[in-house]
Structure 1
């Protein structure tokens, strides 16, 4: 039997996180500027309170100043934090820093961790992840990566362009992906690539502009970056040369799931707002919630949130138990991103002019959640990953059936979680 109950300790942590967001974070939303974020002094104060409440950096090992939660525990805490767009910032578990912290913990040298990870966890700095490029460079297809790092003695010279790099303005460093030779990874179609830690004050690292965008982007915006004869030392290589795409999977599979966790909190708060409004707003002699069409919207949202939560929990279990979870996180990312959009849209519709106004957070949520269907892989790309796995398993079943008909021993099948550790990109 599958046990979906939360341990007493995790249930207490869930309630404590919810109380912290309700009592300390949501009241600060009135000071939020959707482009520049929360004033620095107010964010620092929220993080001080998060430390006092023992809720700070839930995803990072205690050695580096975090709580050391596993993915299943994070799924509960991150969702509660996500009830406010400021919640993940207050707990210092927002993108892109959260994903970069995970990658640094997994791959960086001890010296690199002390230089980059420790101040990042402390909240003294923020960072960015520079992988996406303008056309014809790498977007959803990593094989088109065009940024090149050329070895020159004990140094590397990096040239290329990066596009829509979240958090770049004011970042202290970037984790940058670049090609490191003209070959391809063994057995694959991707070019060999490496990751580099580039300090933002490097003369060859230039922020061209901050890109105006649909969503609220808070700390560091979304930026266009030019790398022009950007010189870094061998010590700037993150992990091993040529392993960049493997490290990208180390970062991206958990990161797409933590995105789901945070945005599910936005969906739940949107449903809560809509339900409260439907309980009090009267129309045609009764409250909105008693009108069948409104009730149907509320029911659909509640059902989809529940399904999304269970999908996140399962993908978190796969990662916690050693699976790579590419298949499961692709399904979660696709489903949850679309659920969140539908739930926020319904909530705004139920609240009518109040939903459209800035008196409620729904209009800001509406603009902010739409890009979730694009970043960390658009839904179409994830569907292609899922379809490949479905076709692979169908072919394996056909092979098993053929073997059974011939009276031979059946080959052992893999589960979807095991199979997801294969060649999906």
Structure 2
């Protein structure tokens, strides 16, 4: 791989990593500019990277394309189809109105989805060559480590207040530039899972022979695991920590079963030592433990939010109320009884309910099926890999962080995190389609 290949790999990763620092590009105007940039990355990669001969190989299969097209068509239909129901804001307007409650927000969401699709396809371009996937993961972890270290230094050093417009400290919790520490926890968790996969790969390569390069790779992986673990715990995100622990455990179990090897005594001792250190670290995290103590009250609030917005979904189950219409729906659903739970939220805190509420069954199910198809295809292809399977398993396991944390939070709906995930999905979906290039497990 030449310098130009590393530049083409690094630019998209740098783009969404920088967006992490600025609230995840969540503000509507910023989100549109961010979408425009990531949408241009695909044609730029094809043109400047001279990869025109890989277009057919990297392009998603027909089922994936059809499912995504269905999502877009349903969203467009909610913009143009007339609706005059009593439960819509158009009931008192002389005219056909629309299914969606907020036409401008729905239009923005459609544009954002197209941008994410472009970035997913870019991930597919890089994923067809194993060496490019390995290089991309190295760049992701290097830039991710720089982002994590910067956020940790800013928070620990007390510099957060001096950085106007940037968010690193919310109530003693590390937020990494996001408007929520829980969103930061999702990214730290994904990076931790990927770094654990790199560590497993480095340990295995170390057994094949000792060299300065392999020793450096092992030391870097260990340092990354420690850094991302520390940052994750500093977010004090209960579900973020839980989802990451499940994802790491799933990866380690899968890796062990796939290798069909009994773990060595040293590995068992190191695992127990690592678990003991993690318990001690968590035990010293007063903020995290304090938040665990308040889980009952927070669960009660989440329960009210979920119930209200599930009922809103049932009011328009087929087409929903329109992508991006959450704020309008939430305001309409407020009552004196639930006002305290709904008044300050900007999302349902459950991406599945919110997709059903906004896109309806006809829009949400194709999206859910698309994600399942991508991950299922990656799992199927991982079983066929003779080399590089460890990194593929790490990419797949990292999905669990986003999917599990998405049941209680909205990180997936933050533009920069959605872009990060779209890119990772593309990498794992197309991983190894081209059987050229060598890479180690």
User: Which structure exhibits the higher relative contact order, with contacts defined as CA atoms closer than 8 Å and separated by 6 or more residues?
Assistant: 2
Structure with greater helix share of residues: 2
> TM-score, structure 2 length as denominator?
0.28
What TM-score do you get using the length of structure 1 for normalisation?
0.29
Instruction: Identify the structure with the greater strand proportion.
Output: 1
